[in-house]
C-alpha cells in the first residue's frame, strides 16, 4: 500500500507540473497558453520610456521633387468682381501631393513577328519571339510573380488567390494553373537550393531547429538550417539523425551549430551551442514551481554573462579576457554543484523494472553539467548567439501556413513549399524584395547569394 501511495503521489506531481507549464517556463509555444494571461517575461525591464527614442528617424510622408504627373488647378474668375482671370499669370503656386496606386488592370501585349523574303536569294526569314513567349496566349512573369507572392509569401490559399486575381485584374485563373506555376518555380530554384546548402556546410555558425507538420495525414518534421543570410527548409518523416543525414548539411559541417539541446544534434562531430532561451525558461519553472532558489541565481548568471558579452561586442572587442572567463566558469560550477546536491538522482524501486524516471529539474541539471561548453559557447566565441531565435523565427511562418491552409496533401507539395519558401527567405535576408526575387526566378535568373567562403 505504501508503494502504491508513493507511485500515485509521483504521478500527481508529474501531472501538476504539466498543468503549470506554459510558454514562459517551458518549450510550449504561446499559442498553447489558450486563455491564460502570461505576463511574466525573462527580459529585464528597461529604463527607457515607451515609444520612439531620441534620435529616432521618423517615417513621415514627404513630398517628392519629381511627381509622376501634375494637375494644374487654375483660377477662372475673380471671387470679388467675377471678371475672368484666364489670361492672368499666377503669382504663387500652392502644392499638395497625393500618393496612391493606379487602378489595377490587365495589360495585353501582342508580339508580331515579321516574315520577309530576300529579293536577292529568295530565302524566307522569320523574326524570333522574345524569350519566354512560347504560346499563342499566356500570362506574363509579373502576374505569375504576384500570384506566387500571394500564395508562397503571404500564405494565401489557392482559392482566395484565385478570387483576389479575379477581383483585382479581372482574370479568372484556374487553380491548376497556379499549381503549374508553383511546379515551374520549384524546377527553376533547384540550383539555388543546392547553392544554399553548400554554403551552409561551410559557414562558421549555423542555426538548426525543427517543428511538427502533418503531411499525407501523418506527422512529419519540418527542419530548418539557417544563418542571417541563408535559409534552407526540408520536410522529413523523421525528426532525428535519419532526417538530418538525408538533408545532408550537418554530416559535413565543421563549424558550430546552435540548437535547442535535441539529443540527435550532439551525435555530429561539429561544435555545439545551446539555445539559452530554452534553458532560462526551464530555470524559471524550477524557481517558480519547484521552489528551487538556485535556479533564479543560475538564470541571473547566464543573463549577466550575456550582458558582459554584448558590452564587449559593442566596444569592438572580439573576446573576453581569460580571467573573466575563469570567473564566470567558477560561478557556473559552484551553482551547479550546489543544485546537484539538492537534487540527487532518484534510485529505482526493486519492485519495478527499468530506470527510475528523473525529475525535470534533475534532467536540466544533468544537461547543464554534461554540455557546459555548449551552454557557454556564446561566451567563448562571440559569433555564437545566446539563443536559437534565428531558426525559430525562420520556422514561424511555416506554422502560420499550417494554421491558415492546414496540412500538406503530398510529399511533392511539401517539397515545393520548402524550396520556394527557403528561396524567398534567403532573398529577403539579402535585401531583395520577395516580389523581385520571384520575378527574377520566372525570368530564368533566380537570385543566388554569393558565397563568403573561399572557393
Q: What is the mean pLDDT of each run of 10 residues along the chain (455 residues)?
A: 83 76 66 59 68 77 92 92 91 92 90 94 94 91 95 93 93 93 96 96 96 93 97 96 96 96 94 96 90 94 96 94 96 96 79 72 94 97 96 93 86 95 97 96 94 63
- Of the candidates 430, 418, 27, 385, the residue with the CA atom closest to the CA atom of residue 206: 385
Cell numbers representing residue 54 in the block: 531620441
Of the candidates 200, 189, 249, the residue with the CA atom closest to the CA atom of residue 452: 200
- Residue 211 · residue 398 · CB < 8 Å: yes
Does 287 reside within a domain?
yes
> Is 301 among the domain residues?
yes
Do residues 266 and 272 lie in contact, with contact meaning Cβ atoms separated by under 8 Å? Answer: yes
Residue 374 belongs to some domain of the structure: yes
Q: What is the pLDDT at residue 32?
A: 64
pLDDT of residue 110: 95
| pLDDT score at 289 | 84
List CB contacts of 76: < 8 A, sequence separation 6 or more.
Answer: 84, 85, 86
Domain assignment present for residue 266? The answer is: no
- Residue 269, Cα to own-chain centre: how many angstroms? 26
Closest CA to 207 of 221, 192, 224: 224
Q: In what order do the strands lie in the sheet with 231-236?
A: 231-236, 218-226, 205-215, 256-259, 271-274
Other beta carbons less than 10 A from residue 89's beta carbon: 5
Residue in the structure block whose three cell numbers are 483585382: 168
> Does residue 95 lie within any of the structural domains?
no
Q: Does residue 439 fall inside a structural domain?
A: no
Please tell me the predicted confidence (pLDDT) of residue 280.
95
Q: Residue 56 domain-assigned?
A: no
Distance CA(391)–CA(206), nearest Å, equals 9
pLDDT for position 49: 76
CA 295, CA 359: separation in Å to the nearest integer? 14
- 239 is a domain residue: no
Give me the domain span that covers residue 377: 276-343+358-387
- The whole-number pLDDT of residue 356 equals 72
How many structural domains does the chain have? 1
The pLDDT of residue 18 is: 72
Report the Cα–Cα distance between both ends of the chain, in Å, rounded: 71
> Which grid coordinates belong to 66?
519629381
Amino acid at each position: 500500500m505504501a508503494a502504491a501511495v508513493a507511485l500515485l503521489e509521483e504521478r500527481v506531481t508529474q501531472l501538476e507540473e504539466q498543468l503549470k507549464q506554459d510558454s514562459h517556463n517551458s518549450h510550449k509555444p504561446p499559442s498553447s497558453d489558450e486563455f491564460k494571461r502570461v505576463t511574466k517575461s525573462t527580459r529585464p525591464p528597461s529604463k527607457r520610456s515607451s515609444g520612439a527614442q531620441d534620435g529616432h528617424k521618423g517615417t513621415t510622408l514627404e513630398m517628392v521633387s519629381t511627381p509622376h504627373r501634375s494637375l494644374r488647378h487654375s483660377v477662372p474668375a475673380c471671387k470679388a468682381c467675377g471678371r475672368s482671370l484666364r489670361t492672368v499669370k499666377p503669382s504663387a503656386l500652392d502644392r499638395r501631393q497625393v500618393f496612391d496606386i493606379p487602378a489595377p488592370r490587365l495589360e495585353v501585349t501582342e508580339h508580331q513577328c515579321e516574315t520577309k523574303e530576300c529579293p536577292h536569294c529568295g530565302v524566307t526569314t522569320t523574326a524570333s519571339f522574345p524569350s519566354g513567349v512560347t504560346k499563342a496566349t499566356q500570362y506574363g512573369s509579373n502576374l505569375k510573380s504576384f500570384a506566387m507572392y500571394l500564395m508562397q509569401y503571404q500564405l494565401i490559399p489557392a482559392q482566395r488567390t484565385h478570387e483576389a486575381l479575379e477581383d483585382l485584374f479581372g482574370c479568372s485563373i484556374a487553380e491548376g494553373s497556379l499549381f503549374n506555376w508553383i511546379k515551374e518555380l520549384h524546377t527553376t530554384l533547384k540550383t539555388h537550393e543546392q547553392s544554399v546548402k553548400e554554403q551552409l556546410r561551410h559557414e562558421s555558425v549555423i542555426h538548426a531547429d525543427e517543428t511538427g507538420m502533418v503531411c499525407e495525414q501523418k506527422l512529419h518534421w519540418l527542419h530548418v538550417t539557417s544563418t542571417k543570410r541563408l535559409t534552407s527548409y526540408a520536410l522529413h518523416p523523421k525528426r532525428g539523425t535519419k532526417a538530418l543525414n538525408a538533408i545532408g548539411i550537418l554530416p559535413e559541417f565543421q563549424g558550430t551549430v546552435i540548437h535547442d539541446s535535441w539529443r540527435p544534434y550532439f551525435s555530429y562531430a561539429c561544435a555545439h551551442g545551446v539555445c539559452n532561451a530554452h534553458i532560462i525558461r526551464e530555470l524559471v519553472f524550477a524557481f517558480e514551481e519547484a521552489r528551487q532558489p538556485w535556479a533564479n541565481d543560475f538564470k541571473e548568471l547566464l543573463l549577466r554573462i550575456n550582458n558582459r558579452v554584448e558590452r564587449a561586442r559593442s566596444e569592438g572587442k572580439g573576446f573576453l579576457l581569460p580571467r573573466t572567463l575563469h570567473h564566470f566558469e567558477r560561478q557556473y560550477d559552484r551553482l551547479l554543484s550546489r543544485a546537484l546536491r539538492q537534487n540527487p538522482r532518484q534510485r529505482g524501486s526493486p519492485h519495478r523494472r527499468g530506470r527510475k524516471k528523473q525529475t525535470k529539474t534533475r534532467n536540466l541539471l544533468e544537461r547543464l553539467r554534461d554540455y557546459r561548453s555548449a551552454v557557454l559557447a556564446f561566451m567563448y566565441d562571440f559569433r555564437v548567439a545566446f539563443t536559437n531565435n534565428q531558426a525559430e523565427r525562420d520556422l514561424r511562418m511555416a506554422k502560420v501556413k499550417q494554421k491558415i491552409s492546414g496540412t500538406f496533401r503530398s510529399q511533392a507539395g511539401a517539397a515545393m513549399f520548402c524550396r520556394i519558401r527557403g528561396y524567398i527567405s534567403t532573398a529577403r535576408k539579402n535585401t531583395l524584395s520577395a516580389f523581385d526575387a520571384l520575378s527574377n526566378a520566372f525570368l530564368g535568373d533566380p537570385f543566388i547569394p554569393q558565397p563568403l567562403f573561399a572557393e
